[in-house]
Every structure is written in C-alpha cells, then in structure tokens.
Structure 1
C-alpha cells in the first residue's frame, strides 16, 4: 500500500495581514505542522530551506510582492570576534548560562512579561498569558532547550538573578534561536548580542557549523543588528550564499 500521502507534510497559506516590519507591505505565510516521529527531521530540512519554527508549526514568508525577508545563519567555525563583541563578552563575564529542558517556569514568564512591556507593548505577543508562554516553550516535537542566563551568585546553594532566556532548537547542522528575551534594565550588557555570541560558542563546542538567526528584513532598522555577526550566509534563489556585512 502506498503511504506516501500520509507521510508527506501538508502545506497551507495564511490570509494577507499587515506586515509587522514594513508598514507599506502585506504579509502572507506558508506553514505546515511539525508532529509525529519525523518532526525533528522535517524541522532540520525546513529550517535549511528558510522556514522558522513556532510551537509545532514551521512557517516562512510567502508574500506576493515583497522579498525583503532573508534567512540568515552565522558560520560558527569562522566567526569574527570583533572588538565590540569582545567588550560585550567582558561586560557579561559574570553570567552563567545553564541549559535546561523546554519547561516553562513562573520566573521565566515574569522576565518575559518585563521584556514585552518594555520593548513590544504593541506587538503580537503583548497579551500573552502565563499559559500562552508555557505553550510557546513546551509545545515542541523537536529537540528544544531553554538556556537561562543568571548573574553568578557566588554561592553553590543559591541561584543568581535571571536576566536573559533563549529558546533554541538543536539540529543536525546547527543551533536555531527560536526566541530570546532579557531584562531591559541591563542595557549596558547588550544581552541580545551576548546570547547570540554564546550560541556561536555553544555551536562550536558541539561541532555544529551554523547558528540560525531567523530573518533579516531589508528596510527594517530593528533587524540590522543581525548583519553584525560575520561571516554569515543568506538563503537566496541559488541556495545559501556568503553575505557581506554592508549588504543592503
């Protein structure tokens, strides 16, 4: 009996909606479900093909008139640690990053709420409850980890202050940063950049070649920070190609 139809993923297309990055554009997404015994394999293949994961959904832009979203991955083994990045590492040398299972906690949610209320009051996640957060973290059929970053307490029996969290997938060829957040009060630490640097080092230690950052959006200033992490590759119509830091 031919079972190919039941094993192949089914893809769907969303209705047009306002683009969250470019005011003049309307976005559409193509998506599929990541479930069952092949979920991890499919997540690897789809991420390499420009998809991102949210819970048990893999999606990518499918906009009719815009191609501004470009998938980005850092080449971890050749990463260039600039003077600015060395300063960021120095400012955070007192942090301890601990990898944990994908299980949500109230402490994480409190930090998540602080981050949203400061940085994304009008975003699509602004109204997320503690239950919504738990679903975001725990609803996964792939190898997912939560990395908690705490200020070292100096005592073995006491955990330090939680100031940043990253939700990441472990794939065959790299680490995919699904979502990260931090305490905005620690602006000097550049915690967003620090977590990316930490993932580059973790990928190297695991012998994995890439760190997937999601999309760089041409024309969106809040996405320009991703171009700082060099060398990196962008997914084009010809596959993954090396990109330049000043590409626009």
Structure 2
C-alpha cells in the first residue's frame, strides 16, 4: 500500500445526488481535505482553480452532464457603484462591520437559525445545531474570520465596533489575491435594508483597503434564480476552460 503524506492532497468524487439549484439535474463533486501546514496555501491554489471551502473540505462541481456552475470573482479596483448600490450603502450607513476573528457565539447562531428557517428551510444546512455552527467556523486550517454587523454605538469611534443586536454576519477567507465570502447570513425581517447586498459591498471595500484585487463570490449557476444576484457586481471574471475571463455581457 502506498503511503501518502498528510500534506499531499488526495482527491475524491462524490456519488450523484439531486442538484439543489436546477430541477431534474444531479450533482457530483470532487473534493479534498484542507489539513496540515500547507492548508492555507492549498486553499489559495484551489480557490483560484474554482474550488470552494466548507470547514476542512475544498470542493468543486464535477457533474457529468451539466456545466452550469461557474466560479465568479469581482474586480474590486474597478468596481462599478451603481445607483442601486449607492442607495444600499446610504440605507445601511448606520451599520458597522467588525472583525471578530474565528469566534462563534450563541448570538450568531440565533441569527443563523432565523435566517435558515426563513430563507433556506429545505436546504442542506437546515438541520445544523449550535455545535455544527461552531464547527463550521472553528474547524479550519486556513486564514478565516467573521465580520459582525451592528448599529453604530457611542463607542464606535473608539473601538471600531457597533452596539446592540446583530444584523448580519459573514465568514470570510483571506487569500493571497483577495477575500473569499464563504458564507453570510442576516436578519430576514429587515428586508428593506438589502443586507445580503450590503455584506458584499462592504467586502468589496475591505478587499480594496487591503490592497487585494479580487472578491470571490463562489458559484453563479446559469438558470438558477437563487444565484442570479451575483451578476450585478461588476466588473467580474468567470472561470472558464481557458482561465479567468472578463464577463462582457
């Protein structure tokens, strides 16, 4: 039997299962484990190649009859601030995003639970417990952080943090050339704020402030209404068989 190094990635293929985005389609994924001292570097390389991270797993679609899932990243230096985006920023000007490290809390889980129950009650994460949530945040060998969004408070100018209840949370990986939004959730009752859009816009600005050229948004799925919102953030590049190419339509 051949012995493999812990730092040498081994890739596996899942069995077919119903696609969560396109009715009548079946998905398969190729995946590997992100463990050991080279996990952050491997996550970097795999993200550039169209993989996404979930805890200590990096995966990408490997469907036999469908190529609808396309990796998307936004060019932050040339980002187009549309009238709708500027309006969103004005509506949420009272919110402050604070980096709280990879530290899950019961308050975050309560918001996470409310978001899932309202928006994704039939999704793959619907049964996640508070321990599952903590594992999603903490079970990682890569550079990952949480951003919490709260209203501005009396001490915001001093500590850079808001006060009061949570409005939104984002789990974000730091890559060599950008930030990767792993998962985000928000108060589903505050529909008028457009909090999902706000989180993306805020991380466009955060990536630019860090001197990073890209914000990775995961997969856009052609034919899926759930994923169509990602096309609004321009300019953006899609990963194709010839590499990352600028979307022109």
Q: TM-score, normalised by structure 1?
A: 0.95
CA distance in 2, matches of 1:234, 1:190: 24
Residue aligning to 1:131: 131
RMSD, matched Cα: 1.5
Paired with 1:208 and 1:107, the residues of 2 have a C-alpha distance of 31
User: Shift of residue 8 of structure 1?
Assistant: 2.3
SS of aligned partner of 1:41: helix
Structure 2: distance between partners of 1:128 and 1:7: 29
Residues 1:31 and 2:31 aligned together = yes
1:154-193 pair list within 5 angstroms: 154-155=154-155, 159-193=163-197
Q: Is the 8 A contact 2:14 2:28 kept in 1?
A: yes
Secondary structure of 1:172's counterpart equals coil
Report which stretch shifted further, 164-173 or 148-157: 148-157
How far, CA to CA, are the matches of 2:37 and 2:187 in structure 1? Answer: 37
Give 2:100's aligned residue: 100
Give the match for residue 209 of structure 1. Answer: 213
- Structure 1 residue 153, shift from structure 2 partner: 3.1
Partner of 2:87: 87
User: Structure 1: how far apart are the matches of 2:170 and 2:126?
Assistant: 18
Q: Is the 8 A contact 2:6 2:36 kept in 1?
A: no
* Aligned ranges 1:68-79 → 2 under 5 Å: 68-79=68-79
**TM-score, normalisation: structure 2:** 0.95
Whole-Å Cα distance in 1 between the matches of residues 19 and 82 of structure 2?
Answer: 33
- Structure 1 residue ranges, 4+ long, deviating more than 4 angstroms after superposition: 3-6, 155-158
Whether the aligned pair in 1 keeps the contact of 2:7 and 2:35 (CA below 8 Å) is no
Aligned residue pairs total: 243
Which ranges in structure 1 are unaligned for 5 or more consecutive residues? Answer: none
* Higher mean C-alpha displacement, 3-12 vs 233-242: 3-12
Distance 2:7 2:53 in 1: 19
